[in-house]
Amino acid sequence: MKEDLLKSLKSLTDDLDGSVQKVQTEAGLSELKATYLGKKGRLTEVLKGLGKLSSEDRPAVGAKANEIKNIIEGRLRSALESLQRQSIAKELAQDTFDISLPGRTEVVGNVHPISQIFAEARHIFEGLGFATCSGPEIEDDYHNFEALNIPADHPARDLQDTFYLKDGRWLLRTHTSTVQIHIMENQGAPVRMIAPGAVYRCDSDVTHTPMFHQIEGLWVDDRTTFGDLKGVLTLFIQQMFGDGTKVRFRPSFFPFTEPSAELDMSCHICAWKNPSCPVCKGTGWLEILGCGMVDPAVFQCVGYDPEKITGFAFGMGLERMAMIKFGINDLRLFFENDLRFLQQF
Amino acid sequence: MLASFNWIKDFVDFKADAPELVRRLAMAGLESEILSQPGKGIDDHVVTAQILKIDKHPNADRLSLCEVQFNDEVSPVVCGANNMKAGDKVVLARPGAKLPGGLVIKVSKIRKVESQGMLCSESELGLADTSEGILILPPETPLGLPLTQALDLGDTILEIEVTPNRGDCLSIQGLSREVAANFHLPFKSNETPTFHEATGKSQVEVNVRSQERCGRYACRVLSGIKVGPSPQHVVRRLESCGIRAINNIVDATNYIMLETGQPLHAFDLKEIRRGQINIRTAESGEKMKTLDGIDRELNCEDLVIADGERILALAGVMGGEDSGVSEATTEILLESAWFQAGSVRKTARRLGLQTESSYRFERGVDPSGCVAAINRLTEVILEVAGGKVLGSTIDHYPDPVRPIEVTLRPSRIQRILGIALEAPEIMTPLQALGISGEAGKGGDYHFQIPTYRSDLNREIDLIEEVARLYGYDRIPATYPSIHLSELLQAKGNSFDQLDHIRTLLTGWGFHEVLHYSFTSHELLKKFSQEFSEEQSLLNPISEDQSVMRPALFPQMVQTLQSNVFKGNKDLRFFELRPVYRFDREGDGKRPFQESWHLCLGMSGARRSPHFLEKESATALKEFKGLTLLDLKGYLEALFHRCLPGIKIAEGPLNLPYFHPNRQMSLTLQTPGTQGETVAGGFMGRLHPAVLAEMDVPVPILIGEIYLDLFLTEWKNSIQFEEISPFPTIWRDINLIVDEKTPSGEVLRVIRAQGGLWLRRAELFDLYRGKPLEAGKKALTYRLEYGAKDRTLTDEEVNGSREKLLEQLKHTLGATLR
Ligand SMILES: [Zn+2]
């Protein structure tokens, strides 16, 4: 009796192996599972004979039946997995995808190139220990001219044709140097600041717009020299335009600095190789900023003692830097706000 | 100023070519560029010649056949010009010559007649941009000379940018002095003139009434002079330096002015009435006609040269037409004077009359040089126009300018430049510029500043001069050290906040634009912008740029319009700039307020759809049709990101340029106050009529935000709230309310009455139409409930929801759908 049961159990797995191989669908496997393990399945059928066994035989046969059940389940599961793998493989084999189709994204806008140049310059200068400040654009004559050592009727005023407001007393600042005065009027040395902003000159043609942007810089304490000016501004230019950029300092004149200098940087377009380079006109140099040691007359105006305090100041045009950096050839584009321009930055 | 390379070489014998000179001058602080090289490209086959005979061309009416001689031979030349006559000296390009334009001259047959060369015009020679007829040379020109030699061509003209402090470099001599010092070469000054000085009574009496403004007045009479054209090389030099040749007398005054920097003038002596030269101020309303033929009305600020009856010249600016030298003039009064810079500048500026003379006086002329200049002028005039000196020369110079002394401390050089210089490094270059000095006791230097260097009068001026001559490139770059305690890095300045706003907006697809700070009255009126007349410019370039803007959006509308016209689509722009307000109530010192605004402008599709979305009509629909809610959404998000914790409320608005039902104001609750509010901005969709007027076929949305609060309250109120580990429960409520009830009001009641456990409430759906009755709308809100300390039960949430529904019914008449 016991032997018969064990034989029947064993034949279950033998039969299953034959059936599983013939089944090709998941439904067929479910059917097969019902046939073997269902309530009225073959395993149940075999186990009906269990009650007729002696109590000492029953545990061994029961254990065997459980083992057979696990085997059947395992075989059916692996058959199912194998079928699923086949069907995925079949599906994938039919799928195609064109990886060159355009990606889908949100539209992203751009920061104006002038703001970008300023942000970049600001990060460099702040890293060097400068604080960023601002001052008013509508100014009085004192802050724009007199305190900067540009007295009335001085020919230096010709360089900066000034817009005046209706009553003639107020003007639009012609340079950001005004901020130097505001800051030094309000605090003692040391002062290390940059000040960006719009400036205005009564001039409008291909190379001039009546409004443009500058960054002013001021570095004042009890020990700064012209050598420091050269060091700091060279660092700035090389961080802004690349390590390999060469600079030269050339004597110049600004009423509020002495000694005064123009800083030229090497032309990155031609690198001295094109005598008819349209950017540098073949000189290999691009004028990039004006600078100098703060004139003692300016220190006197703000109540600093020029015997004790020295420092340098500089000013640069953001449009000019953007034109050099991005290769923009027309100043007026900055203010025309054509989407086709703005999208490029 | 324009300067001749060869002329400078007359004073310094340097070897460098023009590009090298340009480089050297740049490193000495004189920026320059090569403007032109007249005569460049003219070879030696272009020679001076004479026309012996002119016949008509046998086969062409318009052409002439000339017999031209330049050596022993006579050549036939066919010529198309008609400004020449037999006997004229002309320029012949012989066969084999190559002209600057590239033309090569060959023996040729023109209408069957042989022509052995070409008679040249100035434009063909590259000497002028345009010219009429061929160039006729002066009768005294020798024959057969290469033209470059005859006309002293082969020069290079430099345009030199002289900074306002260097008036001394506005002359060939002054530039030469710089060049000499730069090349370490001697500077050759003019030899002492050798004309016969006369004695006897002066022909005129000079009265200087304004000593301060006319520090020196020298004058001399020449008689028996013959007015005529100047020698060709003088004409060339003047014209290449930008001065038109007039006659030998006027040309000489200009020539010597260019050479010495001293402005000079010649009066026709017989026009000087009563023998008087009075240097005085004009009377208010007094009139004169200047050399340029313009009648000028003067005021009592203008310094003039007058005779006993009338004004002869504007001192230092321009002569008068009546007293100028003419063909008939035989006796002249030469003037060499020093006028105060400010005085000349005032008159020149007021009359809008900048001349070579006023330009130099404004930048400082050396009073010590007046007599040397008039002597040199006399010499030149006697040479080119004949005549002699008549009567003794007057030199009114009661208070001669003396060289000043400036002390220079070596310690100060080191302090400013950062380098220690030895005595020779300081003294030698200065001496080369005529600045002599000596070391005093204590090691300081004492320098005598020559009167032509009026820009040097302080120690710092000399330090700059020392640095300039030493060479900026030789001063080593150093790196300053900062003590951490001095570091004034302004943490979180407003620029960080503005950049943060830029980052957010560009992430949402907005491009930053930039407009001028001034705009037109017309545009501001169109958008009903009020502003004070004080905000207008006194001297605008154009009406378009005439008033400081009180708001950003009018120009934004223009920019959207112009982009639409250019075919640009789906526009999202922002501008982040100050606006300007005149405020009389201010503290009196600065009546103008400048405050930062943010303007957003949108037009076109909400987002240009991806091709995948085009496959499904419903998906596409979702992305179409930009509404005011899009703009509102961005602004709300911006406020939420930047000013968390500050409540915003929308309010009704009635601006005529916006769509009547698509506009709103935004109000912000002022932090730290009990419900006080402040205006936050406004937004709207442009009125269809305004769009139609502007010819714009797509809707435009505009928002303008006042940023003051952004800059002061930036993320001040962020407070972290602990995240509850317990799950939340969602409930929808579907309400029917009156069409007139704002959904925001419903939301406000929900938030106020939703109970302790209500964590979030948002509008989920809005429905109008059947089966709702007219005038009603259905609003679905999705509510999230949760507690911090436990999981809520369904009963608790339902109870809370019931209470809320009751409140909604009570306060808003809302019924459950
Ligand atoms: Zn270049």
Do A112 and B513 make contact, defined as CB atoms within 8 angstroms?
Answer: yes
What value does the mean pLDDT of chain A take?
90
For residue B463, the chain A residues in CB contact (below 8 A) are 258-259
CB contacts < 8 A (A, B):
249
The secondary structure element, H or E, covering residue B688 is helix B688-694
Calpha distance A165→A168 (Å, rounded): 6
Residues of B in Cβ contact (< 8 Å) with A114: 514
For residue B265, pLDDT beyond 90? yes
Average pLDDT over residues A88-110: 88
Distance CA B415, CA A228 (A): 11
CB-CB under 8 Å, B488 with A131: yes
Provide the residue type at B391 as one letter.
Answer: G
Instruction: Give the Cα separation of A156 and A148 in Å (integer).
Output: 11
Say what the pLDDT of residue A217 is: 97
Band of residue A269 on the pLDDT scale cut at 50, 70, 90: confident
Query: Which of these three, A94, A128, A157, is where a domain ends?
Result: A94
pLDDT score of B60: 85
Q: Could you tell me if A228 and B418 are in contact, meaning their C-beta atoms sit under 8 angstroms apart?
A: yes
Compute the residue count for chain B: 817
Residue A84 counted as domain residue: yes
List the 285-344 stretch of B: residues with Cβ below 8 A of A. 341-342
**Poorest-pLDDT segment among A98-107, A217-226, B379-388:** A98-107
Establish if A101 belongs to a structural domain: no
Chain B residue numbers touching A155 (CB-CB < 8 A):
164, 341, 345, 362-363
Any idea which residue has 């013939």 for tokens?
Answer: A22
Among B residues 496-515, those touching chain A with beta carbons less than 8 Å apart:
499, 502, 505-515
Neighbours of B629 (CB within 10 A): 11
CA of A273 to the centre of ligand 1 (A): 7
Q: What pLDDT was estimated at residue B335?
A: 95
Say if A192 falls within a structural domain.
Answer: yes
- Percentage, residues of chain A above pLDDT 70: 99
Question: What would the pLDDT profile of B66-81 be if each residue is shown by its tens digit?
Answer: 999 888 888 899 988 8
Q: Sorting pLDDT into bands at 50, 70 and 90, what band is B701?
A: very high
Name the pTM for this structure.
0.85
Chain B interface includes A120 (CB < 8 A): no
Domain match, A59 and A132 both: no
User: Given an 8 Å threshold on Cβ–Cβ distance, is A230 in contact with B342?
Assistant: no
Pairs from B52-59 (Cβ < 8 Å, separation ≥ 24):
B52/B86, B52/B87, B53/B86, B54/B84, B54/B85, B54/B86, B57/B110, B57/B111, B57/B113, B58/B113, B59/B111, B59/B112, B59/B113
State the average pLDDT over residues B516-534: 93
- DSSP conformation class of B193: P
Check residues A188 and B710 and name the one with the higher pLDDT.
A188
DSSP output for A161-201: PPPBBTTSSEEE-SSTTHHHHHHHHHS-S-EEEEEEEEEE-
Q: Do residues A62 and A153 both lie within one domain?
A: no
Residue A241 lies in a domain: yes
CA-nearest residue to B547 within chain A is A165
In a domain, A315, yes or no: yes
Q: Is pLDDT above 50 for B347?
A: yes
pLDDT of residue B491: 53
Which of B309, B306, B286 shows the shortest CA–CA distance to B298? B286
Ligand 1 centroid–CA B5 distance in Å is 25
B509 and A231 within 8 Å at the Cβ level: the answer is: no
Residue B588: which pLDDT band, with cuts at 50, 70 and 90?
low
Instruction: Provide mean pLDDT across the span B531-548.
Output: 93
Number of Cβ within 10 Å of residue A88's Cβ equals 10
- A257 in the same domain as A163: yes
Domain identity same for A158 and A234: yes
Q: Do A81 and A156 belong to one domain?
A: no
A66 lies in the same domain as A163: no
Contact: B495, A192; criterion CB under 8 Å: no
Quote the percentage of chain B above a pLDDT of 90.
63
- Sort out which chain B residues have CB atoms less than 8 A from A284's CB and list them: none
Bigger pLDDT: B711 or A244? A244
A220 and A192 Cβ atoms separated by less than 8 Å: yes
- If asked whether residues A29 and A120 sit together in one domain, one would say no
Statement to judge: residues A90 and A157 lie in one domain: no
What's the rounded Cα separation, in Å, for the pair A248 and A263? 6
Stated as kind and residue range, the H or E segment containing B678 is strand B677-686
Residue A183: list chain B partners with CB under 8 A. none
CATH of the domain at A254: 3.30.930.10
Q: Which residues of A touch B487 (CB under 8 A)?
A: 129
- Interface check A282 vs B, CB under 8 A: no
Distance A266 CA to ligand 1 centre (A): 8
CA angle B647, B648, B651 (to 5 degrees): 140
Which positions in chain B touch A131 (Cβ < 8 Å)?
Answer: 488-490, 493
Task: State residue A159's pLDDT score.
Answer: 64
Residue B619 is predicted with a pLDDT of 41
Say whether both A243 and A315 belong to one domain. yes
Bridge partners of residue B136, in order along the sequence: B90
Give tens-digit pLDDT for B765-816. 888 888 888 899 999 999 999 998 999 999 999 999 999 999 999 999 998 8
What pLDDT, on the 0 to 100 scale, is given for residue B715? 67
Compute the average pLDDT of residues B181-196: 85
**Contact A345/B at CB under 8 A:** no
Give CA–CA dist B666/B651, Å, rounded.
6
A272 touches chain B (CB under 8 A): no
Domain end residue (candidates: A34, A59, A94): A94
Question: Exposed/middle/buried for B56, CB within 10 Å: 0-12, 13-18, 19+?
Answer: exposed
Strand order in the sheet with B388-396: B264-268, B332-339, B214-223, B388-396
**Shared domain check, A241 and A190:** yes
B587 touching A, CB under 8 A? no
**Both A61 and A197 in a single domain?**
no
Please check whether residues A177 and A285 belong to one and the same domain: yes
Contact A110 B512 (CB under 8 A): yes
B522 touches chain A (CB under 8 A): no
Q: Which of A36, A67, A94 is the last residue of a domain?
A: A94
Residue A103 lies in a domain: no
| Domain count for chain A | 2
Output the CA A269–ligand 1 centroid distance in Å: 5
DSSP string, B664-676: EEEEEEPTTSSS-
pLDDT at site B618: 46
Looking at the predicted structure, is the pLDDT value of residue B622 above 50? no
Average pLDDT, chain B: 89
Angle, helices B459-470 vs B410-417, to 10°: value is 70
Where is pLDDT greater, at B456 or A43?
A: B456
Say if residue A102's pLDDT is above 50.
yes
Q: What is the pLDDT of residue B624?
A: 58
Residue B617: band (very low, low, confident or very high) from pLDDT cuts 50, 70, 90: very low
Q: Over 50: is that where the pLDDT of B388 sits?
A: yes
Domain membership of residue A106 (yes or no) is: no
* pLDDT for B219 beyond 50: yes
Sign, Cα dihedral of B147, B150, B151, B156 = positive
- Inter-chain residue contact B478 with A227, CB threshold 8 Å: yes
| Element of type H or E holding A249 | strand A247-254
In angstroms, rounded to a whole number, what is the distance separating the alpha carbons of residues A328 and B252?
A: 47
The pLDDT value given to residue B586:
57
Q: What is the mean pLDDT of residues A152-168?
A: 81
Q: Which of chain B's residues have a Cβ under 8 Å away from the Cβ of A235?
A: 479
**Of A185, A145, A138, which Cα lies nearest the Cα of A163?**
A138
Question: In chain A, what residues touch B488 (CB-CB under 8 Å)?
Answer: 131, 190-193
User: What are residue B388's phi and psi, to 5 degrees?
Assistant: -150, 165
Q: How far is CA B420 from CA A227, B406, B409, B509, in A?
A: 12, 19, 11, 57
CA angle A151/A152/A153 to nearest 5° reads: 115
pLDDT in tens, B299-308: 999 999 999 8
Select the residue of A154, A226, A335 nearest B475 (Cβ to Cβ): A226
Note whether residue A105 is domain-resident: no
Write out the residue range of the structural domain in which residue A240 sits. 113-342
Q: In whole angstroms, give the CA distance from residue B48 to residue B119.
A: 10
Phi/psi at B209 (nearest 5 deg)?
A: -90, -15
| Distance between start and end Cα atoms, chain B | 88
pLDDT tens digits along B42-73: 888 899 999 998 888 888 888 888 999 888 88
Sign (positive/negative) of CA torsion A147, A153, A158, A162?
A: positive
- Where is pLDDT greater, at B519 or B125? B519
Of the pLDDT bands very low, low, confident and very high (cuts 50, 70, 90), residue A145 is very high
Residues 6 or more apart whose CB falls under 8 angstroms from that of B673 comprise: none
Other residues' Cβ atoms within 10 Å of the Cβ of residue B312: 27
Token reading at B318: 């321009």
Indicate the residue of A102, A129, A202 with minimum beta-carbon distance to B611.
A102
Of B100-104, B155-159, B172-176, B564-568, the poorest mean pLDDT is in B100-104
